[in-house]
C-alpha cells in the first residue's frame, strides 16, 4: 500500500459502520422511490434498487466529509438511469426539496430521468452510458496533478462495459496509476433488457480481466455494505480499484427481481401496495 493510500485509509470509517442503520436507510430509500413511482408513468425503479446499498455506502459511510458538511471525496453516478437513489439521498441531506422530487419528470420540475450537473450535489450529467468512468478518470487525474488526497468514486453498470469508451477509461486509469479512483460495478447481469451473461460471454471473467488491464479488483456481494466497505478500505494502492458488486436488479421486491420489464416501468396501485408490504416484511 502506498503511503498516500495508507494515510487515506486510516481515515475511513470501518469501526463506526452500523449495518442495522444502513439496512434501515436502504429500506426507507426503496419506499421513497416506490412512492415517487406513483407520480409518473415510468421510472427506472429496478436499476435504482440494484445499486441502493452501493450508493448508501458511498454517501453515508465511505465518502469523507468536510467540516462544513460538504464532501471531501467525489461521487459520480455513471449509470445515470439509476439516479433515483441519488435524488432521495440528496433530499434526505437537504440539497433537494420534497417539492423537487414531487415534480420529478414533470413540467416546471428540475429533476429529469437522468442526472444533470446543474442539480445540487450532482457533479456530472450522465445517462448517455459509457462516459462516466472516463469523466471519473479525468477528475482523478486532475486531483493527482493538484496534489490532493481526494478520492473519486464512480458507480457504473455492467452494461456500460459494452461501450468502448469504458474500456478506454479502464486503460487510461491504469496507465496513470490512479489509485485515487475507486469504481463500483453494479453487476446485476442485465444491460437494459438483456442478460449480459447470455449476450456478452467475452465479458467474463470480470476480476481477472480488470487485473489484466492493470487494475486491482475484487468481487463481492453488492447488497452487503460491510463487504464493499472492506473491499474499498483493503485496497493495496498504487492502482485504480474495481469492486465488482454482485447485485439483483429490482432487489427487495419479489415481482421485480430479475424481471426485465421493470427496467423502466412504474408499479400500478396493487403492485405498489404489494411492494410496500414486502419491504415491511423484509424489515430487520
Is 157 among the residues that bind Mg ion (CB under 5 A)?
Answer: yes
Is 60 among the residues that bind Mg ion (CB under 5 A)?
Answer: no
Q: Tell me the DSSP string of 15-64.
A: TT--HHHHHHHHHHHHHHHHHHHTTSS--BHHHHHHTHHHHHHIIIIISP
By C-beta, is 182 or 185 nearer to Mg ion?
A: 185
Long-range pairs for 191-200 at CB < 8 Å and ≥24 separation? 191/157, 191/158, 191/159, 191/162, 192/159, 192/263, 193/260, 193/261, 193/263, 194/260, 196/158, 196/159, 200/161, 200/162
Is 163 among the residues that bind Mg ion (CB under 5 A)?
Answer: no
Q: How far apart are CA 81 and CA 191, in angstroms?
A: 12
Helix axis angle for 225-233 and 19-37, nearest 10°, is 120
User: In the complex, what is the shortest distance from the CB of residue 159 to Mg ion, in angstroms, rounded to a whole number?
Assistant: 4
By C-beta, is 113 or 276 nearer to Mg ion?
A: 113
By C-beta, is 130 or 159 nearer to Mg ion?
A: 159
Half-sphere exposure of 175 (CA within 13 A, CB side): 9
194 three-state secondary structure: strand
Q: Are 178 and 141 in contact (CB under 8 A)?
A: yes
184 three-state secondary structure: strand
User: In the complex, what is the shortest distance from the CB of residue 242 to Mg ion, in angstroms, rounded to a whole number?
Assistant: 15
By C-beta, is 159 or 275 nearer to Mg ion?
A: 159
User: In the complex, what is the shortest distance from the CB of residue 224 to Mg ion, in angstroms, rounded to a whole number?
Assistant: 18
User: In the complex, what is the shortest distance from the CB of residue 115 to Mg ion, in angstroms, rounded to a whole number?
Assistant: 17
Q: How far apart are CA 186 and CA 4, in angstroms?
A: 27
Is 159 among the residues that bind Mg ion (CB under 5 A)?
Answer: yes
- Residues 224-243 binding Mg ion (CB under 5 A) are none
- Residues 188-207 binding Mg ion (CB under 5 A) are 188, 190
The piece of 26-34, 138-146, 154-162, 213-221 that touches Mg ion (CB under 5 A) is 154-162
By C-beta, is 44 or 239 nearer to Mg ion?
A: 44
By C-beta, is 96 or 248 nearer to Mg ion?
A: 248
By C-beta, is 5 or 83 nearer to Mg ion?
A: 83
Q: Are 124 and 135 in contact (CB under 8 A)?
A: yes
- Residues 169-188 binding Mg ion (CB under 5 A) are 188
Is 247 among the residues that bind Mg ion (CB under 5 A)?
Answer: no
User: In the complex, what is the shortest distance from the CB of residue 118 to Mg ion, in angstroms, rounded to a whole number?
Assistant: 27
Question: What residue ranges bind Mg ion (CB under 5 A)?
Answer: 157-159, 188, 190
Amino acid at each position: 500500500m502506498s503511503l498516500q493510500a495508507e494515510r487515506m485509509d486510516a481515515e475511513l470509517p470501518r469501526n463506526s459502520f452500523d449495518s442495522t442503520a444502513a439496512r434501515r436507510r436502504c429500506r426507507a430509500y426503496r419506499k421513497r422511490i416506490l412512492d415517487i413511482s406513483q407520480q409518473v408513468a415510468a421510472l427506472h425503479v429496478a436499476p435504482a434498487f440494484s445499486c441502493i446499498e452501493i450508493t448508501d455506502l458511498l454517501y453515508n459511510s465511505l465518502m469523507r466529509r468536510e467540516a462544513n458538511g460538504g464532501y471531501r471525496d467525489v461521487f459520480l453516478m455513471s449509470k445515470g438511469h439509476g439516479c433515483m437513489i441519488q435524488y432521495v439521498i440528496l433530499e434526505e441531506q437537504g440539497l433537494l426539496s420534497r417539492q423537487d422530487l414531487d415534480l420529478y419528470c414533470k413540467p416546471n420540475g428540475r429533476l429529469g430521468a437522468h442526472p444533470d450537473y446543474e442539480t445540487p450535489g450532482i457533479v456530472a450529467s450522465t445517462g448517455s452510458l459509457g462516459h462516466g468512468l472516463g469523466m471519473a478518470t479525468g477528475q482523478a487525474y486532475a486531483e493527482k496533478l493538484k496534489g490532493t488526497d481526494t478520492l473519486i468514486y464512480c458507480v457504473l453498470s455492467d452494461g456500460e462495459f459494452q461501450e468502448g469508451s469504458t474500456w478506454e477509461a479502464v486503460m487510461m486509469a491504469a496507465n496513470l496509476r490512479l489509485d485515487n479512483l475507486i469504481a463500483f460495478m453494479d453487476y446485476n447481469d442485465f444491460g437494459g433488457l438483456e442478460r449480459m451473461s447470455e449476450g456478452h460471454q467475452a465479458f467474463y471473467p470480470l476480476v481477472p480481466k480488470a487485473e489484466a488491464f492493470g487494475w486491482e479488483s475484487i468481487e463481492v456481494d453488492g447488497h452487503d455494505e460491510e463487504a464493499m466497505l472492506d473491499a474499498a478500505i483493503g485496497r493495496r494502492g498504487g492502482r485504480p480499484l474495481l469492486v465488482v458488486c454482485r447485485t439483483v436488479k429490482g432487489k427487495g421486491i419479489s415481482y421485480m427481481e430479475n424481471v426485465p420489464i421493470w427496467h423502466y416501468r412504474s408499479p400500478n396501485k396493487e403492485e405498489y401496495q404489494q411492494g410496500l408490504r414486502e419491504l415491511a416484511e423484509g424489515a430487520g
